[in-house]
């Protein structure tokens, strides 16, 4: 059970504390532009809420048979605050308890959580864009409207963009910092062997 270098302990604590931002800034964003909305429409996804032009986007989507977007349709909002809280506490424990195997566990948890979040968002988007009301005002046979997971996609006359918002970028920095610390610890361990 090898201890971590002092700089690693400090940086892991910083990485964990960076994730507190998730409670105060949006994590993800969906932006949409069309000729009738040249200024764009925005939807910000927070740890437990959705803000922005949600009512307008929801109304537009309803014309093509998509469900209305409501906070209640995301059960993740009920437990995300606890998952992020656990990651923060676990990261601080890694720094406090000073054990390399805990660093491995922390990095693994961050990676698994990140992948799970993207898979969950993809599955929601797939259902939202494919499970359409056949009696909608506008029906295009064979057309689906799945929003992009990451990046830009054309959906009829709308260009949709999906990607990290401020909190998502901070999470990415925290995860990359943790991975970098793990690599540093592995290299230092090999050079001292």
Domain residue ranges in the chain: 6-188
**The predicted structure's pLDDT at residue 135:** 84
If one compares 56 and 141, the residue with the highest pLDDT of the two is 56
Strand order in 151-155's β-sheet?
50-52, 37-45, 28-34, 158-164, 151-155
**The predicted structure's pLDDT at residue 1:** 65
**The predicted structure's pLDDT at residue 193:** 58
Query: Above 70 in pLDDT, residue 38?
Result: yes
Q: Which helix (H) or strand (E) holds 47?
A: none
Query: Above 90 in pLDDT, residue 104?
Result: yes
Q: Which helix (H) or strand (E) holds 1?
A: none
Which residue, among 25, 20, 27, has the nearest Cα to 88 in the 3D structure?
Answer: 20
Q: pLDDT tens across 124-159, in order?
A: 999 988 888 888 888 877 777 888 999 999 888 889
Number of Cβ within a 10 Å radius of residue 180:
14
Which residue, among 146, 188, 191, 190, has the nearest Cα to 7 in the 3D structure?
Answer: 188
Query: Could you tell me the pTM of the whole model?
Result: 0.89
Distance from C-alpha of 50 to C-alpha of 46, rounded to nearest angstrom: 6
Number of Cβ within a 10 Å radius of residue 78:
11
Q: Compute the mean pLDDT over every residue in the chain, rounded to the nearest whole number.
A: 92
Distance from C-alpha of 144 to C-alpha of 126, rounded to nearest angstrom: 9
**The predicted structure's pLDDT at residue 147:** 86
6-188 architecture in CATH?
Up-down Bundle (1.20)
**The predicted structure's pLDDT at residue 155:** 83
Average pLDDT over residues 2-28: 95
Average pLDDT over residues 86-93: 98
- Which phi and psi angles does 22 have, rounded to 5°? -60, -25
Distance from C-alpha of 21 to C-alpha of 87, rounded to nearest angstrom: 13
DSSP for 130-182, written as a single string = HS--TT-SS--TT---PPPSSEEEEETTEEEEEEE-HHHHHHHHHHHHHHHHH
Asked whether the beta carbons of 29 and 185 are under 8 A apart, the reply is no
């Amino acid at each position: 059970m090898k201890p971590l270098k002092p700089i690693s302990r400090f940086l892991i604590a910083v990485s964990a504390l960076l994730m507190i931002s998730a409670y105060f800034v949006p994590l993800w964003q969906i932006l949409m532009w069309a000729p009738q909305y040249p200024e764009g429409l925005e939807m910000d996804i927070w740890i437990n809420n959705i803000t922005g032009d949600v009512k307008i986007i929801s109304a537009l989507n309803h014309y093509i048979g998509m469900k209305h977007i409501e906070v209640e349709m995301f059960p993740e909002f009920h437990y995300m605050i606890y998952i992020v809280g656990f990651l923060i506490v676990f990261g601080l424990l890694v720094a406090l308890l000073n054990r390399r195997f805990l660093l491995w566990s922390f990095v693994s948890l961050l990676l698994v959580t990140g992948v799970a979040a993207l898979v969950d968002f993809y599955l929601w988007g797939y259902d939202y864009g494919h499970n359409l009301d056949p009696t909608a005002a506008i029906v295009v046979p064979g057309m689906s409207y799945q929003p992009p997971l990451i990046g830009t996609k054309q959906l009829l006359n709308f260009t949709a963009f999906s990607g990290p918002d401020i909190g998502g970028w901070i999470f990415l920095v925290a995860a990359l910092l943790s991975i970098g610390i793990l690599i540093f610890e592995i290299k230092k361990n090999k050079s001292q062997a």
